[in-house]
Amino acid sequence: MIHDKSKAAFEAAKKVIPGGVDSPVRAFKSVGGTPVFIDRGEGAYLIDIDGNRYIDFVQSWGPLIFGHCDADIETAVIESAKKGLSFGAPTVVETALAEEIVDLFDTIDKVRFVSSGTEAVMSAIRLARGFTGRDDIVKFEGCYHGHSDSLLVQAGSGAVTFGTPSSPGVPADLTKHTLLAKYNDLKSVEKCFTDAPDSIACVIIEPIAGNMGLVPAQEAFLQGLRDLCDKHGALLIFDEVMSGFRASLKGAQGIYSVKPDLVTLGKVIGGGMPVGAFGGREEIMNQLSPDGPVYQAGTLSGNPVAMSAGLASLRKLKSDPSVYTSMEQKATLLVEGFKTAAAANGITLQIDVRGSMFGFFFNDHEVLSFDDALKSDTELFAKFHQGMLNEGVYFACSQFETGFISTAITEEMIFSVIDKAQKVFKDIS
C-alpha cells in the first residue's frame, strides 16, 4: 500500500501542529509508521488521501455507531446547519435529546450538555464535590476520563500509550485530592475510604473500561463500590462516555444491575459531532447553576447541529435495538476468529466483547486490571497493527484502546478481516 501523500501531509502538519496531530493517540507513535490522513468515510470504510480503503474499526474512537455518512444523521445535520450553526441560546432540540436520554436511563432525571467527554467528566466531578462539600475523589489506574487536571493521574488511553499516565503540568496540589485504586480490586478502594473516611466526594469509574484496552468491571466489584459509597456518603459516577449507547442501548447500565448517582456521556450522543453530557438524580443536578451554586457553562454547549446529529442517532438506535445483538455477534465472530488464527501461530490473545465494543490483548494472562493490561506484548501488537493496515484494516493505533463495530460492517467483511489476520499472524509469529 502506498502512503506517499499521507507521509508528506504528516511532515507538513508537524511543522505547524505539535507532533502533527491534535490528539496524541493519532500519531501512530506506539505502532510505528505514519498516520494515514483521511480524505473521507463511506459506510464501513475510511479512504485516505492516497486513495487507500480501510474497513474502519475505530469509528472516530466510538461515536459513529452507524458508520460513516449515515443518511439520516447527515440529513439531520444539514437541515439544522441550514437554520444557523450556533445561537448561544436555548433550542428545542436540546430538550428533545435530553428527553431521549432521561427516558432511557433510570439513573438520569436531568442532563446537561457540554462539548466533549473531558468537559462532561470535569463538570460531573465539580458537581459531586459541590453536592457533598468534599474534595477527594477516587479514580482507577488505567481508566481515562479526559485530560482535565485532577483526572490525568495514572490515566489510560494516549496517556499510557506515550508513557505519561501522570502528566507534567498538573500541579501536585490538585492531584493530592485524587486517590488511586486498582480496577476490579475492592480492597484497594476500601483502603482509600479507610485513609480518608469523610472526605471522598465520589468514586469515578468506567464500568466497562475502554481506555486500557477493553476491561469490563466485575458485577460484584461494582456492587462493592456502590456499598462503599453509600456507607461513606460519597457519590458513584459511571463514566459512560465510551460505553453509553455502545455496550447496549443503556450502556453499561443495560448490562449491570448496579446504579450510579451520576453518569457521563459523549461520543454516540453526538453522532460524530463534538458533544458530551452529564446527568443524574434531580436533587444532585439541581445544585447546578442557575438553580444551584455549582457553576458550569459553555458558549457552544447544546450546539443545535451537534444536538440534531445526536438526536437522529439515538432515535435510530431506539427504533431498532436489535442492532446491538447483531453488532455483538459480529464482534464475537471477529475476536474469536483472531484468537483461533493467533493460536495457530503460537500467539495467545485475551479477547472480550461488550455489545459493539471489542478488545484483544497480546497477553498470556487474563486481563482484569491496568497492571494486567500493561503486561501485553505491545511490540507484537504494533506488528499486527501495521500488517492489518497494509491489508486495508484500520484498528486503533494502540494496544490500550477498544475496537468498535458499526452497523455498516457486515458478516462478510468480518470473514474477510479474519482471513487477512490469518496471513498477518503467520507473518509476525
- Please give the grid coordinates belonging to residue 126: 465539580
Selected from 31, 215, 242, 247, the binder of ligand HOZ by CB under 6 A is 242
Cα-Cα-Cα-Cα dihedral of 218, 221, 222, 227, to 10°?
Answer: 160
**Residue nearest to ligand HOZ according to CB distances in the complex:** 23
Helix (H) or strand (E) holding 399: none
Active site residue 4: no
**Residue 25 near ligand HOZ by CB under 6 A:** yes
* Count of residues that interact with ligand HOZ, criterion CB under 6 A: 9
Contact 60, 37 (CB under 8 A): no
Residue 393 three-state SS = strand
By rule CB under 6 A, what string of x and - marks binding of each residue 377-406 to ligand HOZ? ------------------------x-----
Say how far apart CA 282 and CA 287 lie, in whole Å: 9
Q: How many C-beta atoms lie closer than 10 Å to residue 188's C-beta?
A: 17
- Please give the grid coordinates belonging to residue 163: 508513557
The minimum distance between CB 238 and ligand HOZ, in angstroms, equals 15
Say how far apart CA 275 and CA 10 lie, in whole Å: 27
Site for ligand HOZ in 284-343 (CB under 6 A): none
State how far the alpha carbon of 369 is from the alpha carbons of 178, 217, 304, in Å.
Answer: 19, 9, 39
Angle between helices 411-428 and 378-390 (to 10 degrees): 120
Looking at the Cβ atoms of 274 and 292, the one nearer to ligand HOZ is 274
Contact 224, 247 (CB under 8 A): no
The minimum distance between CB 138 and ligand HOZ, in angstroms, equals 20
Contact 20, 14 (CB under 8 A): yes
Looking at the Cβ atoms of 25 and 122, the one nearer to ligand HOZ is 25
Selected from 157, 178, 350, 369, the binder of ligand HOZ by CB under 6 A is 157
Selected from 35, 67, 142, 158, the binder of ligand HOZ by CB under 6 A is 158
Of 267, 316, 383, 420, which residue is the catalytic one? 267
Residue 391 three-state SS = coil
Active site residue 256: no
310 contact partners, CB below 8 Å, separation of at least 6: 97, 268, 269, 270, 271, 273, 275
Active site residue 318: no
Looking at the Cβ atoms of 388 and 396, the one nearer to ligand HOZ is 396
Looking at the Cβ atoms of 241 and 341, the one nearer to ligand HOZ is 241
State how far the alpha carbon of 373 is from the alpha carbons of 37, 350, 392, in Å.
Answer: 29, 10, 27
The minimum distance between CB 54 and ligand HOZ, in angstroms, equals 18
The minimum distance between CB 193 and ligand HOZ, in angstroms, equals 28
- Report the half-sphere exposure of 98 (CA within 13 A, side-chain side): 19
Looking at the Cβ atoms of 150 and 402, the one nearer to ligand HOZ is 402
Of 48, 136, 239, 352, which residue is the catalytic one? 239
The minimum distance between CB 94 and ligand HOZ, in angstroms, equals 24
The minimum distance between CB 419 and ligand HOZ, in angstroms, equals 28
Of 45, 54, 139, 144, which residue is the catalytic one? 144
Residues that are catalytic: 144, 239, 267
Residues that bind ligand HOZ (CB under 6 A): 23, 25, 61, 144, 157-158, 211, 242, 401
